[in-house]
A and B are shown apart, each in its own frame.
Chain A
Amino acid sequence: MALAATAVALLPLGYLLLRTAEGGLPTWWETVATERVARLTATSLLLALVVTLACLVIGVGSAWLVTRSNTPGRAPLAVLLALPLAVPSYVAAFTWVSVSDLWSADPGARFEGFGAAALVLTLYTYPYVYLPVAAALARVDPSQEEVARSLGCGPWRTLTTVTLPQVRPAIAGGGLLAALYVLADFGAVSILRLDTFTRAIFTALSSGFNRSMALTLATVLVLLTLAILWGEGRTRRAGARFSTATVSRPAPALDLGPWRLVGTGTLALVVLTALGVPALSLARWIAAGSSAGQAWDRIGGAAWGSLSASLLGALLTVALALPVGLLAARHPGRLSALLERAAYLAHALPGVVVGLSLVFFGVTVALPLYQTTWLLALAYASLFLPLAVAAVASAAAQAPPSLEEAAQSLGTSPARVFTRVTLPLTLPGIGAGAALVFLTAMKELPATLLLRPTGMETLATRLWSATGIGRYAEAAPYALLLVALAAIPTWVVVRRTGIVPAGAAGPLPGRAVPHPADPAPVEPVVSP
């Protein structure tokens, strides 16, 4: 069961490799060893590097400021800093372009290119670093820092020698996510007209129908993704053991003196730029659009398209995730770890690659599926399986084997143990996982563009086509809807990290209190 589910997740990758192998290595090399591919590689890698470094600076800095300093206003800022995660990259790019168009003195100078893409991607990607690092900083055992201080380390040395090494896995993990996100991003770079791999693949397929070119570019992109994954894995192995002590008291906040106002100012500037521009732009264009009159039936049709495709995708994903997640939670071992990792590998694949591979798969192998919502659902399953696996695994942890054993020892048959104990305890978690996949699939763009049946429109594709022809007022309502939808999974992630002040994120009455030793999953759930 679990094997089959993982196989589905890896289907796009496998099929891509198969097709490339059919073409033969010399042909592949001929296409790859060109100036254009070299330029694409340089642009993609440079963009990933610049954005990741900027994200690390903003993410770690702001995480430290809100968790460990006396910066005024750090409680509301802690939540606001995570919110850019709720703006899909193509919505962000659209709002920045439309705002700059509106107020730019020179109509010819469109907001686009490398600098524009780097700025937009940084502003909406840094939460991938900020959230896990803030969560890790909040969990570090303060007694270790106290020991360091008592042994004569100053605040700065304590930070660099004791605190930061402990949150290094979170920093590395966040940086990896940011890099993968940039490499996989399609919407922002396309709207901002920067030639990276994802844009080139899409253009090769949709405008030139140059399939072999698209395939080759996709394999190079996969190689780059794997290289980044491999590199991160090597840094992780060095320091694997960290204290998992449960923290019963908050770490002391460092007094920044007069600098604390600078801290507030910087954080406020980040939040204002990242959230203010979309807010301004959307408000402006919604106002313009409502005076011009909107086609509500179009919006309704797109909403229905998004809803049906995402629902199907979510159900399929959870069905596949159940065996993998249960196996990982109940029988941890080499096989289950391998299967889990394979599911995550599929997650790192750019959506445009998954879409492309499944287009070929549909045309050549599964023709009955081609041009149906099922193939799109399969793409969602492949892309978002890890989200559902993580949800199932943590839900299964809510029903530990000792509970089932206790129930069995009281004379309850295995089937009844499942319905009376296991199911009631795991269902909420699995349902939350399904909802997460559903909402994430709603705003997926590249795979949806490539795989949607002819005539079907979703919120994301409508926004895409309206932006493409400069109809910003028409695009605005879709952007607003998408941001509203994306805000829900963002809130779930923010709550889970534990940076929201207590009370707002307390456990529901009558529900299981999570074991304090369980590290909260901080895997961000908003997929590129």
Chain B
Amino acid sequence: MPVTTDASRASRTSVGTHAVEVIGVGKSFGPVRALDHVDLHLDDGEFLAVLGPSGCGKTTLLRCLAGFERIDEGRLAVHGRAVALPGIHLPPHRRQVAVVPQEGALFPHLSVADNVGFGLPRRSPRAQRSRRVDECLELVGLAGLGQRMPHELSGGQQQRVALARALAPRPPLVLLDEPFSALDASLRVELRRDVRDALHADGATAILVTHDQGEALSMADQVAVMREGRVHQVAAPEEVYAAPVDAWVASFVGEADLFPVPDASADGLVDTPLGRVEVTGGVDDATHVLVRPEQVVLGADGIPAQVRTVDFHGHDALVTLALDDGTLVHSRSGAHPPVVGARVGLRVQGACRAVPGGRPGPAPAPTPAR
């Protein structure tokens, strides 16, 4: 998927060639700039996650795509058809963009089967309708529950029905608005996998909006990281994690320790508080070296440090260490972490990434293991 932050180039090169196009879209609520020149492209069958902290504009983007909000500038196209330009607004029901809302929003007065069949063409034959309804229910693992009423389902089942309802009319685009946030952690992992599989099995093009980096990284083909109305980076999950475009993305997506360096523009060996490390992927304005916790290996020798805290997750543990000069470093250790207060040695394994600093965002809280 070509990614560009240059709006003019995007509109010149890509009109009509993608399933979904978001080109230079801007949207303000009074003085608040909710979307600031947002550019995104999706190919057919692709699954994009829009990841960002709350208030970053990701839900506004979704509501603009669905047609619930008007855009101020730019252009939205679905399947080669412009659905929104400044002053032109295709109403939601004519966009063929199906939404899976946060709470599911099943129609409480309709049975599960009627909910799923809601968006199917009214005049299609009954047998054809019920075949597609059954197919979609099976896709989300709820075969045979068509006659239930929504309130007879658990929260996870309701979300599955909401997904089936969105998939049933085979829309060119499915939008998922934090569909797992109201669910138990244990349920979430299973449902994520099933939802991703159902979307792939149906060949649907989908955008997931979430503030949960684990959700975005584990489910999507592509991840767009948003902050304050801007898209910072769009890339495959591995790339966003391994090669973040700036310090903010680095610290928002996963645990990160960032060490300022005088000159990281060239690849090679750089001195950091963790010793001399190998730096790759340096760009001109790089100011920080990114070290991921799994790169910090604890042992008897190396840079001396003291264990401050241990967040034990079962399969691994996140260890916070203090160097002698007070610098804090994180390390992901195995199932047998050192005890608090122990003195250990540490060293950095593998090459590190140099990133531009930008304005560092508030460090996200460590995501608990799920």
Contacts and interface: CB of A to CB of B under 8 A. Distances in A.
Interface residues of A, number: 24
Interface string A396-431: 001010110111111111100100110011000000
Contacts of B68: 405, 408
Interface stretch (A34-42, A345-353, A506-514): A506-514
Contacts of A409: 66-67, 92-93, 95, 97-99, 166, 175
B103 interface: yes
Interface string A513-524: 100000000000
B279 to A, nearest CB: 47
A400 B101 CA distance: 12
A408 B119 CA distance: 9
Given A410-B169, A510-B149, A403 B107 contact: yes
A411 B105 contact: no
Nearest to B108: A512
B118 interface: yes
Contacts of B109: 424-425, 510-512
Interface string B82-119: 00000000011111111101110101110000000011
A425 B105 CA distance: 13
A398 B109 CA distance: 10
A398 B151 CA distance: 14
Q: Which of B93, B95, B97 has the most CB of A within 10 A?
A: B93
Contact of B98 (A402, A410, A425): A410
A413 B107 CA distance: 16
Interface string B105-142: 10111000000001100000000000000000000000
A510 to B, nearest CB: 6
A442 B100 CA distance: 47
Interface in A372-418: 398, 400, 402-403, 405-414, 417
Given A410-B166, A421-B107, A512-B108, A402 B101 contact: yes
Contacts of A398: 108
Given A408-B91, A411-B119, A402 B169 contact: no
Contacts of B101: 402, 405-406
A400 B105 CA distance: 9
A414 B151 contact: no
B299 to A, nearest CB: 48
B96 A512 contact: no
Contacts of B95: 409
Interface string B159-175: 00010011001010001
Given A402-B103, A409-B66, A409-B175, A417 B93 contact: yes
Q: Which of B91, B92, B107, B118 has most A Cβ within 10 Å?
A: B92
Contacts of B96: 411
For A406, A414, A420, A513, the residue with the greatest tally of chain B CB atoms inside 10 Å of its CB is A406
A424 B111 CA distance: 13
Nearest to B114: A420
B137 to A, nearest CB: 16
A303 to B, nearest CB: 35
Contact of B105 (A403, A413, A414, A511): A403
B160 to A, nearest CB: 15
Interface string B316-338: 00000000000000000000000
Among the interface residues A400, A403, A421, which one has the most CB atoms of the partner chain B within 10 A? A403
Given A412-B119, A413-B93, A510-B149, A407 B107 contact: yes
A414 B93 CA distance: 8
Contacts of A402: 101-103, 105
Contacts of A407: 93, 107, 118
Contacts of B165: 406, 410
A102 B162 CA distance: 68
Contact of A406 (B67, B91, B94, B99): B99
Contacts of B151: 512-513
Contacts of B119: 410-412
A412 B66 contact: no
A407 B5 CA distance: 34
A250 B91 CA distance: 47
Contacts of B103: 402
Interface in A55-96: none
Contacts of B67: 408-409
A316 to B, nearest CB: 28
B118 A412 contact: yes
A400 B149 CA distance: 18
Name the residue among B67, B105, B169 with the largest chain A CB count within 10 angstroms. B105
A421 B114 CA distance: 12
A513 B109 CA distance: 10
A70 to B, nearest CB: 34
B92 A408 contact: yes
Contacts of B99: 405-406, 409
A411 B166 CA distance: 10
Contacts of A406: 99, 101, 105, 107, 162, 165
Contacts of B94: 411
A412 B94 CA distance: 8
Nearest to A425: B109
B89 to A, nearest CB: 13
A307 B248 CA distance: 71
B202 to A, nearest CB: 15
Contacts of A417: 93
A410 B94 CA distance: 9
A511 B101 CA distance: 21
Interface in A241-299: none
Nearest to A427: B109
Nearest to B151: A513
Nearest to B66: A409
A402 B177 CA distance: 11
Contacts of B107: 403, 406-407, 421, 425
Contacts of B171: 410-411
B93 A412 contact: yes
A509 B109 CA distance: 10
A128 to B, nearest CB: 32
Contacts of B162: 406
Contacts of B175: 409
A511 B108 contact: yes
A512 B94 CA distance: 28
Nearest to A421: B107
Nearest to A410: B119
A425 B118 contact: no
B173 to A, nearest CB: 10
A211 to B, nearest CB: 53
A420 B118 CA distance: 9
A41 to B, nearest CB: 50
A425 B166 CA distance: 21
Contacts of B118: 407, 410, 412, 420
A79 to B, nearest CB: 27
B79 to A, nearest CB: 14
B154 to A, nearest CB: 14
A411 B93 contact: yes
Interface in A471-490: none
Interface of B: 66-68, 91-99, 101-103, 105, 107-109, 118-119, 149, 151, 162, 165-166, 169, 171, 175
Given A408-B68, A409-B166, A510-B149, 5 more contacts: A408-B67, A410-B93, A410-B98, A410-B119, A424-B109
18 contacts: A402-B105, A403-B105, A405-B68, A405-B101, A406-B105, A408-B92, A408-B93, A409-B175, A410-B93, A410-B118, A410-B166, A412-B93, A414-B91, A421-B107, A424-B109, A509-B149, A512-B109, A512-B151
**Ranked 8 nearest A-B pairs via Cβ:** A410-B119, A408-B92, A512-B108, A409-B99, A402-B105, A408-B93, A406-B105, A402-B101
